[in-house]
Structure 1
Amino acid sequence: MRLLQIVVPVGKRDGVERVLSDNEVDYFLTDETSGRDYAALVFVPAGPEDVEALVDELRAIGIEREGYVTVGKLETVLSDRFERQQHDGPTNGSAVEETDGRIAREELRARAAAVAPITPNYVVFTVVSVIIATAGLLMNSAAVVVGSMVIAPLIGPAIAASVGSILDDDDLFRTSVKAQFVGLLIAVASAAAFAGLLRATVMPHADLHLVEQVAERINPGALALVVALGAGVAGAISLTSTTSVALVGVAIAVALIPPAATVGLGIAYGDLTAAVSAGVLVLINVLSINVASLGTLWFQGYRPEHWFAEQSARRAVARRAALLVAAVLVLSSVLVVTTINVSENTEFERTVAEITSETDARVLSTDVSYRMELFLRHPTTVTVRTVGGSTRTAAALRERIRTRTEQDVTVVVLRENGEVSTARPSRSSSTAEFARPNSPTVTAPGLDGRHLTAGVA
């Protein structure tokens, strides 16, 4: 519910009463006695879907130029008559159909303007959010990463920029775009500073590619685009309705905060692959959020209040939407490449599982290690834990994997008695190494740069 308070200038009282009567709304009018150039003060309780039509008609008779119209939230109305009017009024149904129950244009602008600027709280919440996300990524904790998104304030500028475009408000648009750019810059810088501190103290040799939460942002698939587009649509709808903006803001933070933290990690640890890959993901997500929110607001029917500004807004929206869509399509080619690579690796793992199941040993587990490159992952090592098997199992598996997948990888077989056999790629014939229980064990780099012993418990 909304409460309109109308300060009526002298000479406009009859016009205001006519507008309210024609719309068949209840109102309460009192004479203005302060001695200023106002004739009356009117209170109008109304539904959110009725406000825009009423404000437009009041603007048409000059209230905006000489008086005031304020719109506030109305929590409760104790009136049977008002309830009947809301449910049975002849104009209510058409108003809901015309506006889809959305809030008025003026209220949307006010809400967007309130969340668009760069404020101290915006900066503090961004810094705290990305530091928590960075810690969560290094801990490989999805719960901590999700928790960081709850306090991220990035939804405001992302949606407010679209509101500025739709309503032909250049000041709001510029303020919001600046806030988005500064917010992401602060996020990346904060993550890099925090990760740099960790690298200089407790985690000097962290291998980012071995952390699952980080690897997801280094090699994202095409579904990441779906997340960003959905977040943009949800964010726009939340701003135009009574849905909690803070709650929907988590969806937008999902698309921005963890990738920005990954960029900071890549910078701090000198990992160009992580920094560039996650940076491209951030760009794709922020552009997708903007284009999705822009389209949502347009299809909801929002337009500037003046007809002559609508043409200007239409051209601006079309131009900005075209630029955003073109940029998203170009950058999304990276996601297509990554998605194809992920599909190929999945097929490789399935084939390897089939091959290992055909050995004479009982297979306990099969793991595949990858080498991370820009937007791509390439299998390098297949580790098989078995009960039984011969000393030639690794060489045989490597040859069969190479034949069926055309991937020449290192194969390590760990037997239950502690014996380790390894077959590595070679330029000539396949080679195999066999290690007795007392010989050196196979090692793999750990998160902190030390080596983890590969063996069977």
Structure 2
Amino acid sequence: MALRVIEIVTPRSDKDDVVRSLEEHRTDEGYVFWASPLERGEGISFRMILDVQDTENVLDKFEQLFAWTDKYRIVVYPAEATIPRLDKLASEDKNEFTPAPKESEPKKNRISREELYADVLDTTLLSRNYVILVLLSSLVAIIGLLRGNVAIIIGAMVLAPLLGPNVGLSLATTLGDKKLSMESLKTMTVGIALCFFLAAAAGLLLGIPHVTDELAARSVISYSDIILAIVSGAAGIVTVTQGVPTSLVGVMVALSLLPPLVASGLFFGAGMMPHALGAGMLFLANVICLNLAGVVTFILFGIQPLSWWDKEQAKNGAWRAAILWTLLLAALVVLMVYEGR
């Protein structure tokens, strides 16, 4: 299991209170900690090392104690290893006399809510780099689809600029975070519009002299595509919650958002409307399935706000969103049946 270091910077005058709080919770969570004075000012730094699965429980407790004032700062960063090993330290602690531990919250086999939020936010914010990435990946996908080159298309899939905002929307829905929801929707809308209109312009100017196998494959949608999108979306969210970005590459390839959108734009620009509609339906199915799988997976992994009031609000909103995505998916399936796909 991965390790995390939590650093708490406090005024030296509060040292005794912080030590008492750290000692009080150590028997529940099983971490070790030490303190060192800062070179400048009157601050002192407490560092604790613990398993990543314990991070959110510890952060929640100390956020309630410390985060209400700007005198404190809590920072989380990864640790590669610790010697002696953390389990050995925990077993040594058990040899000492300690009070019977209180019933603690269940361990979470994932990174903390704060780490997850920070990771997702990086791929959700609308920026110049994001716009450039959308344009470049769209051009790569256009070339790959027109040439029927699988390797080029996979390159566009790996760039996957549309994946981040969709994951951000799923997380925002689960946490009831309106600001993140609006930012995700704005970024996703801009990305989709840029990709589609660039592809439509290419279709209008270049035409589609020959419908390659790769283009044809993305002009139709089947029920297996829906199952693949749901499974890949859930796998992608699990990967995100584990903090293993390298594992996300395979999901980017399996859950392709960009190629069907580009194919729809190319067909639209070339005036091939039935093909454009089919590719558009495939893209829409992937978006719906990704968000549905994302919301449900985040709920199952226990992603929720800190306060009980926010938990209730977010829980209701998350289930409403899951029902909405389910209804949209059902409507899409009905449309597929109507068109005989």
- TM-score w.r.t. the length of structure 1 is 0.66
Give how far 1:304 is off.
0.4
**Does 1:141 pair with 2:149?**
yes
Amino acid at match of 1:229: I
SS at match of 2:48: strand
SS at match of 1:321: helix
Amino acid at match of 1:264: G
Matched with 1:441 is: none
SS at match of 2:7: strand
SS at match of 2:144: helix
Query: How far apart, in 2, do the equivalents of 1:87 and 1:326 lie?
Result: 51
**Residue deviations 1:177-204, cap 9 Å, x none?**
22122211111112122233323xxx6x
SS at match of 1:218: coil
Matched with 1:71 is: 76
Choose between structure 1 and 2: higher strand proportion.
1
Give how far 1:327 is off.
0.7
Pair 1:4–1:30, CA change in 2 (3 A): same
Query: How far apart, in 2, do the equivalents of 1:215 and 1:62 lie?
Result: 58
Query: How far apart, in 2, do the equivalents of 1:86 and 1:263 lie?
Result: 57
Amino acid at match of 2:174: I
Matched with 2:185 is: 177
Query: How far apart, in 1, do the equivalents of 2:317 and 2:176 lie?
Result: 8
SS at match of 1:240: helix
User: Contact 2:31–2:90 (CA<8 Å) still a contact in 1?
Assistant: no
RMSD: 2.6
Query: How far apart, in 1, do the equivalents of 2:93 and 2:330 lie?
Result: 47
Pair 1:34–1:135, CA change in 2 (3 A): closer
Matched with 1:389 is: none
User: Contact 1:152–1:249 (CA<8 Å) still a contact in 2?
Assistant: no
**Residue deviations 1:247-286, cap 9 Å, x none?**
145246x431111111111122111111122112211211
Amino acid at match of 1:69: I
Query: How far apart, in 1, do the equivalents of 2:195 and 2:251 lie?
Result: 16
Give how far 1:168 is off.
2.1
Query: How far apart, in 2, do the equivalents of 1:255 and 1:139 lie?
Result: 18
- Tell me which of 185, 192, 201 is aligned to 2:200: 192
Query: How far apart, in 1, do the equivalents of 2:291 and 2:284 lie?
Result: 11
What percent of counterpart residues are identical? 26
Amino acid at match of 1:76: A
SS at match of 2:137: helix
Give how far 1:88 is off.
8.1
The equivalences for 1:47-58 within 5 A come to 47-58=51-62
Give how far 1:74 is off.
1.7
Pair 1:328–1:89, CA change in 2 (3 A): farther
**Residue deviations 1:371-397, cap 9 Å, x none?**
xxxx5xxxxxxxxxxxxxxxxxxxxxx
Q: Give the count of matched residue pairs.
A: 326
User: Contact 1:166–1:313 (CA<8 Å) still a contact in 2?
Assistant: yes
Give how far 1:81 is off.
5.1
Matched with 1:5 is: 7
Say which structure, 1 or 2, has more relative contact order (CA 8 Å, 6+ apart).
2
Give how far 1:87 is off.
7.8
Pair 1:73–1:96, CA change in 2 (3 A): farther
**Residue deviations 1:31-77, cap 9 Å, x none?**
356445x4x21011222111111111112223443411011122333
User: Contact 1:159–1:232 (CA<8 Å) still a contact in 2?
Assistant: no
SS at match of 1:266: helix
Amino acid at match of 1:27: F
Query: How far apart, in 1, do the equivalents of 2:333 and 2:253 lie?
Result: 20
Unpaired runs of 5+ in structure 2? 95-99
SS at match of 1:174: helix
Query: How far apart, in 2, do the equivalents of 1:336 and 1:244 lie?
Result: 37
**Residue deviations 1:122-149, cap 9 Å, x none?**
2222222222222222222333222221
User: Contact 2:226–2:286 (CA<8 Å) still a contact in 1?
Assistant: yes
- TM-score w.r.t. the length of structure 2 is 0.86
The equivalences for 1:400-411 within 5 A come to none
Amino acid at match of 1:85: L
Query: How far apart, in 2, do the equivalents of 1:121 and 1:227 lie?
Result: 30
Give how far 1:224 is off.
0.9
- Tell me which of 30, 33, 36 is aligned to 1:30: 36
Pair 1:151–1:33, CA change in 2 (3 A): closer
Query: How far apart, in 1, do the equivalents of 2:90 and 2:197 lie?
Result: 52
- Tell me which of 58, 61, 64 is aligned to 1:60: 64
The equivalences for 1:256-405 within 5 A come to 256-336=257-337
Pair 1:81–1:233, CA change in 2 (3 A): closer
Pair 1:328–1:12, CA change in 2 (3 A): farther
- Which structure is larger by alpha-carbon Rg, 1 or 2? 1
SS at match of 1:302: coil
